[in-house]
Amino acid sequence: MNSANESVLQSLKSAAREQRKLTSDLKNQALLKIAENLSARALEVLAANKKDLEALAADTAPAFRDRLTLNTERIDGMVESLKQVAALPDPVGEEIEKQTLKNGLLLKKVRAPLGVIFMIFESRPNVILEAFSLAFKSGNVILLRGGSESKHSASAIYKLMNETLQDLGFKNLPFHGVENYDRALVEELLKRKDMIDIVVPRGGDKLIDYVQRTALMPIIKNDRGMCHTYVDEDADLQMAAKIVANAKTQRPGVCNALETVLVHEKVASSFLPLLYKETEHKKLQWHVDPLSEGILKNQPRVTLAKSEDWDTEYLDLIINCKVVKGLEEAISHIELHGSKHSEAIVTKSEAKARTFQQDIDAAAVYWNASTRFTDGFEFGLGGELGISTQKLHVRGPVGLRELTNARWLIDGDGQTRG
């Protein structure tokens, strides 16, 4: 680790101590000022993003290009996210529980920041401000390292953040954007458990696997989104078609997009042509089981699924489709192939919906709604550092409270233990 990088880590460590003492008003003021400056300098950020898009190869997958793309609507969304986070209650110091022991000790369990967070993300430059705002409001500092494909966009956003925070009087900045894209530096940072408290990888399987094998500090894992929707025999089929079409095609390159639809055998012959028609304008590619192929055999872009397809997160306009005998087979398929991210059932039966929600082991389980809602912004959290699919500390969208943990404050008046 060279002296410049060591200086960055030392500065972040010092900033983390300052962050623990920062008032909610000052944090909110900073977030709103960044939002104001982002809105005023939107053209500057969009011009930088254009450079990144122009540098992409001509055969780049549309879903990847979409993840990298910023436009006026997405800038507005970033501004709104900053404002939402500023408006949310500050979790730092929140009292979770309180009790007085028989010996007179007063115990208080309160929320506290995690410290220095290292976030590694791929391609989506809007992640920068979303992650920073949540880390900052929850009393943390954040080290950000994106993919080189978004380097111009990231540089413009880092510059805006840096200048705004310096103007507000921050000496040790509560963030640092890594603009050295050498993978060797990432490996070095993942071993610095003395300076970094938590690492959050947000990207594909290869990135997450690499971080799991390399990091010496705890990980908040945002795993792949192998999401399913089961259409039951008593579902409203028009509703089901709209839900599945939205979950698959509204933005296919994100982790909460649907990859597999499971359909009850009693409604498959009615539902599959309906869903095909609903998505036809998107030129969806279908990977199907033999029963589905028999129903859709006269339609283009329909091929038999390979065994590995049921475990493939396409992040593209490709859908898996399987006909099942009922709820139990649907649940078994999801338990075997799901990634514990987001799963959905479409049915008129509350009993079946509750069984599905109870039996499916996932961070978010829906009844009659699209999996696309698994998102910190949509959940009213102001944004997210990702969707955690792990079991410890946090599951689902990682928002403000999820970036704190609990600690104990104990008040005494001379008690000693016998």
Confidence at 380, pLDDT banded by 50, 70, 90: confident
Q: pLDDT tens digits, residue range 19-74?
A: 998 999 999 999 999 999 999 999 999 999 999 999 999 998 887 898 899 999 99
* Per-residue model confidence (pLDDT) at position 386: 82
* Per-residue model confidence (pLDDT) at position 122: 84
Q: pLDDT tens digits, residue range 321-333?
A: 999 999 999 999 9
Residue indicated by tokens 């500050």: 90
Euclidean distance between CA atoms 259 and 311, whole angstroms = 9
Q: pLDDT tens digits, residue range 382-391?
A: 778 888 888 7
Using the predicted structure, report yes or no on whether residue 204 has a pLDDT greater than 90: no
The string over 195-226, giving b where at least 16 C-beta atoms fall within 10 Å of a residue's C-beta and e elsewhere, is: bbbbbbbbbbeebbebbeeebebebbbbbbbb
CA angle 163, 190, 195 (to 5 degrees): 60
Question: What are phi and psi for residue 287, nearest 5 degrees?
Answer: -110, 115
Least confident of 125-139, 143-157, 210-224: 210-224
Using the predicted structure, report yes or no on whether residue 311 has a pLDDT greater than 70: yes
Question: What are phi and psi for residue 322, nearest 5 degrees?
Answer: -140, 135
* Per-residue model confidence (pLDDT) at position 253: 85
Domains and their CATH numbers in the chain:
3-222+385-411 (3.40.605.10), 227-373 (3.40.309.10)
- The token duo for 353 is 């919906």
At position 416, the amino acid (one-letter code) is T
Residue closest to 230 by CA, chosen among 217, 244, 250, 249: 244
Using the predicted structure, report yes or no on whether residue 95 has a pLDDT greater than 70: yes
Which of the two residues, 237 and 399, has the higher pLDDT score?
A: 237
- The token duo for 117 is 């967070």
Using the predicted structure, report yes or no on whether residue 415 has a pLDDT greater than 70: yes
| Mean of per-residue pLDDT scores for the chain | 94
Using the predicted structure, report yes or no on whether residue 1 has a pLDDT greater than 70: no
Euclidean distance between CA atoms 65 and 86, whole angstroms = 30
Euclidean distance between CA atoms 278 and 283, whole angstroms = 11
Euclidean distance between CA atoms 318 and 397, whole angstroms = 25
Residue closest to 156 by CA, chosen among 84, 75, 235, 218: 75
Euclidean distance between CA atoms 99 and 109, whole angstroms = 9
Euclidean distance between CA atoms 91 and 210, whole angstroms = 32
Decide: residue 341, CB within 10 A, 0-12 exposed, 13-18 middle, 19+ buried. Answer: buried
Distances in Å between the alpha carbon of 54 and those of 57, 71, 152, 154? 8, 14, 11, 15
Residue closest to 151 by CA, chosen among 173, 178, 120, 117: 178
- The token duo for 302 is 């329909």
Euclidean distance between CA atoms 338 and 295, whole angstroms = 25
Using the predicted structure, report yes or no on whether residue 163 has a pLDDT greater than 90: yes
Q: pLDDT tens digits, residue range 179-197?
A: 999 999 999 999 999 999 9
Q: pLDDT tens digits, residue range 247-279?
A: 999 999 889 999 999 999 999 999 999 999 999
Using the predicted structure, report yes or no on whether residue 205 has a pLDDT greater than 90: no
Q: Quick one: average pLDDT of 299-320?
A: 95
* Per-residue model confidence (pLDDT) at position 3: 74
Confidence (pTM): 0.84
| HSE (side-chain half, CA atoms, 13 Å) at 387 | 27
- The token duo for 44 is 């500057």
